[in-house]
Structure 1
Amino acid sequence: MTRNTPEIRRIQTAGTRALILTLLLSLAGVATAADVERERRLVAELEASLFDGDLQQLSAGNVTFAAVELAPDSKPRSGSIILLHGRGVHADWPDNIGPLRMALAQNGWHTLSLQMPVLEKSAKYFDYLTILPEAFPRIEAGIKHLLNAGHRPIVLLAHSCGAHMAMAWLETTTERPIDAFIGIGMGATDYQQPMQRPFPFATLKIPVLDIYGSEDYPRYTAWHQFV
């Protein structure tokens, strides 16, 4: 569904918003940092099995991270899509984000699937709240990469935990050089771990497509009935 809502005036700068968000998220649990070694193992697994697309190394501040780029099979091109995967996997995960990026390329979309920060395997929703800000420079690096190559329009597509990262980023920035947002399985959390912050739909001035399955996890469908 596409949401069109009135503008809400904000007085905080983007930097102030990011700081406030980081402080609030840290209250959800003990502050932690992303598991760099686990991310390296996931990227090694990705590289060993990658057949469609080129593995890129993008820079986000002092962090270098992997991304999988795939040009469309045919012309004319529809545009470009940045993909953010779900919790604790890699940017070409075979159960979801991998087949999705390839299907999009087959239908005229230039895709860039970003490797997002991860925690150890047993980490839950509350744990991931503390590392959401680590995703922000990666999203911005992906956008910059596509803009420098002349790709427009740019759509941001995020699945599950990636949607939490994308929405947190959208909340903290006034500069949104994307043309649309697609969320798949948004609102995903864990047992007895309710969402801590509402998604900032009221401030978005771009089309939003919200996709979920009727037989998805109960927490997904309950959240959509609520909103």
Structure 2
Amino acid sequence: MKFVLILLFVSNFVFAQVVPNYAKEKRWASQVEYGLMDGDVVWLSANKQPFMSLYTPSETNTKRAALIVHGLGVHPDWAQVIQPLRVALSEKGWHTLSVQMPVLANDKDAVEYITLLTQADNRIKSAINYLQQQGLNADAIVSHSLGSVMSAHYLDNQQHPIKYFVAIGMPDLAVKYLGKIRIPMLDLYGVDDIEVVLKSVKERAQAAKENKYYTQKKVDADHFFNDKDALLIDEVSTWLK
């Protein structure tokens, strides 16, 4: 009986770890909707839960669309990396859909997000379905930091229509998901990036060695491309051409 109780406790503990912080997502959504300047809010659903995405149509006549996947604990209009890219790419021939990924409480670190990767997969699938329902091609994923781990996990484990993968500031947690990815991939990081990115540079390249379309590039920036939006936009949009 004692053993059963222990198992129940462990099971309940693990389950608690895989539930995103929906209250935090709701707060983010309220803030984003109130201050949104570009694009439209689109509510999608995965795991029987609604989540917010931001759709920004292209200024050109195109069917190309890119998913934008943010990093740890933030939202799809985050001022660093995410908002500049989702808007700028719409000016450069891409529809963009920036997706609210699962988040945890502020005191949780990146490792604890591993339990949410399957749920992240389902959100990416839902976003792709939405784009396809609009008659668009989900051609690219452009991701930042922990979002690159979530995106790599999706590409590693799911059948998908994605043709291009941009990973910005990709940390070491993504290494185990790079081996089976064969689509063109840009591994972009900064000379002043965070430690888990800089220390895994060689490991990421080694993991992706079977992908002949893999490119790794270091640029003069930090992890969040502070004061380097123009550089970020130029690097990503040029590579996507």
Instruction: Give your verdict on TM over 0.5.
Output: yes
Structure label with greater radius of gyration: 2
Q: Specify the alignment match of 2:179 in structure 1.
A: 202
Identity %: 32
Shift of 1:218: 2.5
For residues 153 and 132 of structure 1, the distance between their equivalents in structure 2, rounded to whole angstroms, comes to 20
The residue correspondences of 1:119-130 to structure 2 (distance < 5 A) are 119-130=104-115
Q: Does 1:31 align with 2:17?
A: yes
Shift of 1:177: 1.5
- Using the size of structure 2 for normalisation, the TM-score is 0.74
Pairwise CA RMSD: 2.1
Q: Which 4+ residue blocks in structure 1 deviate beyond 3 angstroms?
A: 29-32
Instruction: Report which structure shows greater RCO (CA 8 Å, sep ≥6).
Output: 1
Q: Is the 8 A contact 2:57 2:96 kept in 1?
A: yes
Q: Does 1:46 align with 2:32?
A: yes
Q: 1:104 to 1:49 in 2, by over 3 A?
A: same
Give the 3-state SS of the residue equivalent to 1:130 in structure 2. Answer: helix
Shift of 1:61: 4.2
Give the 3-state SS of the residue equivalent to 1:116 in structure 2. Answer: coil
Q: Specify the alignment match of 1:183 in structure 2.
A: 167
For residues 123 and 84 of structure 2, the distance between their equivalents in structure 1, rounded to whole angstroms, comes to 22
Give the 3-state SS of the residue equivalent to 1:117 in structure 2. Answer: coil
Q: Does 1:102 align with 2:87?
A: yes
Unaligned runs of 5+ in 2: 1-12, 205-241
- Using the size of structure 1 for normalisation, the TM-score is 0.78
For residues 110 and 143 of structure 1, the distance between their equivalents in structure 2, rounded to whole angstroms, comes to 12
Q: Which has the higher strand share?
A: 2
Report the count of equivalent residues.
Answer: 192
For residues 201 and 32 of structure 1, the distance between their equivalents in structure 2, rounded to whole angstroms, comes to 23
Q: Specify the alignment match of 1:143 in structure 2.
A: 128
Q: Specify the alignment match of 2:190 in structure 1.
A: 213
Q: Which has the higher helix share?
A: 2
Q: Is the 8 A contact 2:63 2:136 kept in 1?
A: no
